Structure 1
Amino acid sequence: MDINLVVFIAATFLLAGFVKGVIGLGLPTIAIGILGVAMAPAQAAALLAVPNIVTNGWQIARGPGLAGIIRRLWPMLAGICIGIFAGAGLLEQQKNGGATLWLGLALIAYALIGLKAARLHVPTRFEPWLAPLVGLATGVATAATGVFVLPAVPYMQALGLDKDELVQALGLSFLVSTLALSVGLIGMGTLDWRIGAWSLLALAPALAGMAAGTALRGRISASAFKLCFFAGLLALGAYLVWRSLG
């Protein structure tokens, strides 16, 4: 890689890490969208492997109660893995950005609903059968786009978790998605030791950005966090649409 590309990648991960620190998500969405200017989506997803694993591990470790989150979310997490493996190769085949366009439009719609204070709620009795379906759909969407957001994020937000629980749940979901997607990328030959080395180097700016964003999140109220959360989703969705049409 030449120096200009290295600086471009570092700046991308710094920005993406900051957004993730503030609202608990956005690292792969922003990074794949921006890096798509210089490389294929599958290559960008491979470059994200180490930063995704480490930043989501950090996000999980800072949460209030991992055991309870795992017990509640494991059916969804299992569905994510199945969906990613079932959709293996879709990211490599993506050429026209169609999957990314629909993902962006769905994010915009969900963010607008949230900003208008329309509260989504999943009754506890629905979770045993709904969680695996949400996970399966999220896995297939991840396999096609490299982004881990829909429909898992709206589902987790509708569970009634508080700010810190939601951020921890997001980290757990994204970590499982990253590990499953990385296995698929290794199988396709897209993620090898050379890309792994560059992915390790991308970790430093991602962590720096996330540290700054996490510090900011600690200073804002629950209502301000909710506003930032949905505004962030709206911006991410608009960016994905712009990138797919550009």
Structure 2
Amino acid sequence: MFESSHFFFSLLILTFLAAGLVKGVTGMGLPTVAMGLLSVVMPPAAAAAMLVIPSFVTNVWQWLAGPDTSGLLRRLWPMMASIVLGTVAGAALLVRVDPLWSGLALGIALLVYASYALVSPALSIPARVEPWLSPIVGLVTGAVTGATGVFVMPAVPYLQALGLDKDELVQALGLSFTVSTVALAAGLLMHGAFRLDQLGLSALVIVPALAGMWLGQKIRARISPRRFRQFFLLFLGLLGLELVSRPFF
């Protein structure tokens, strides 16, 4: 029992250290990496509950540290409101579906994101379509978040296509991920998959997550972020393939 507990805590610490490191280098990826790694050894719903507090803390920090907190909130609130609706509804799938099949959905989400990000197509959203497209993107992002615990698709490509400058984009991603984290916690709580006694474990991994972010920021100053990002995306793709293949073997 002790050895099993020791392995579990070691796995949690190493997972969130790695996830924080990726976020420190690239500005994103903590929930994606944590969900992908933890879902190898536990049901995705349990993995999602573990990432609530570290994801919330790191993303609120990223959002509030930007240059235009209120302006982005006014511009993006329809998308954020739709993310909440989609996530709370979609969380039922994460909780009720067999873990093998919810893991398959997570694997597909990782593969789609890694493939898109590796190609990095240049997209641009005209200002005239933003008022009606934002809620649709938010609803789809919420449904994917609720079903898989991954926040990135299609929110990240959409925000990248809005023509925001570098600092505004990082802040907008922080806002989107913060809202997704809160909505996912609410959805898991409503469907009985998030208990108050899990808050202690979730809070415990804040330290390795922040340590990883600090280390990642140091690494970012010494290596090519582009090359690191390529290795990171290839890793996500391989992780996605493992999760996708699991129900069939």
TM-score using structure 1 length: 0.89
**Distance in 2, Cα, partners of 1:82 & 1:165:** 25
2:109 match: 103
2:168 match: 165
**Distance in 2, Cα, partners of 1:67 & 1:230:** 33
2:241 match: 241
1:59 match: 62
2:62–2:174 Cα contact (<8 Å) kept:
yes
**Distance in 2, Cα, partners of 1:151 & 1:220:** 31
1:35: how far off?
Answer: 1.0
**Distance in 1, Cα, partners of 2:74 & 2:105:** 31
**1:20 paired residue among 23, 32, 47:** 23
**Distance in 1, Cα, partners of 2:196 & 2:244:** 29
Alignment RMSD? 2.1
Equivalences for residues 1-246 of structure 1 within 5 A: 2-92=5-95, 93=97, 94-96=99-101, 97-114=103-120, 118-217=121-220, 219=221, 225=225, 232-246=232-246
Q: How many residues align?
A: 240
Give identity over the alignment, percent: 50
**Distance in 1, Cα, partners of 2:213 & 2:236:** 17
**Distance in 2, Cα, partners of 1:32 & 1:15:** 12
1:111–1:231 Cα contact (<8 Å) kept:
no
1:242: how far off?
Answer: 2.9
Cα 1:232–1:64, aligned 2, differ >3 Å: closer, same or farther? farther
Q: Secondary structure at the match of 1:89?
A: helix
1:158: how far off?
Answer: 0.9
2:82–2:136 Cα contact (<8 Å) kept:
yes
1:84–1:181 Cα contact (<8 Å) kept:
yes
1:26: how far off?
Answer: 1.1
- In structure 2, stretches of 5+ residues that fail to align are none
Q: Secondary structure at the match of 1:99?
A: helix
**Distance in 1, Cα, partners of 2:245 & 2:46:** 20
- In structure 1, stretches of 5+ residues that fail to align are none
Q: Secondary structure at the match of 1:95?
A: helix
The amino acid across from 2:243 in the alignment is R
**Distance in 1, Cα, partners of 2:225 & 2:165:** 11
1:107–1:234 Cα contact (<8 Å) kept:
no
**Distance in 1, Cα, partners of 2:72 & 2:231:** 25
Cα 1:72–1:228, aligned 2, differ >3 Å: closer, same or farther? farther
**Distance in 2, Cα, partners of 1:17 & 1:49:** 14
1:138–1:149 Cα contact (<8 Å) kept:
yes
The amino acid across from 1:44 in the alignment is A
**Distance in 2, Cα, partners of 1:62 & 1:233:** 26
1:3: how far off?
Answer: 1.1
The amino acid across from 2:127 in the alignment is T
**Distance in 2, Cα, partners of 1:150 & 1:172:** 15
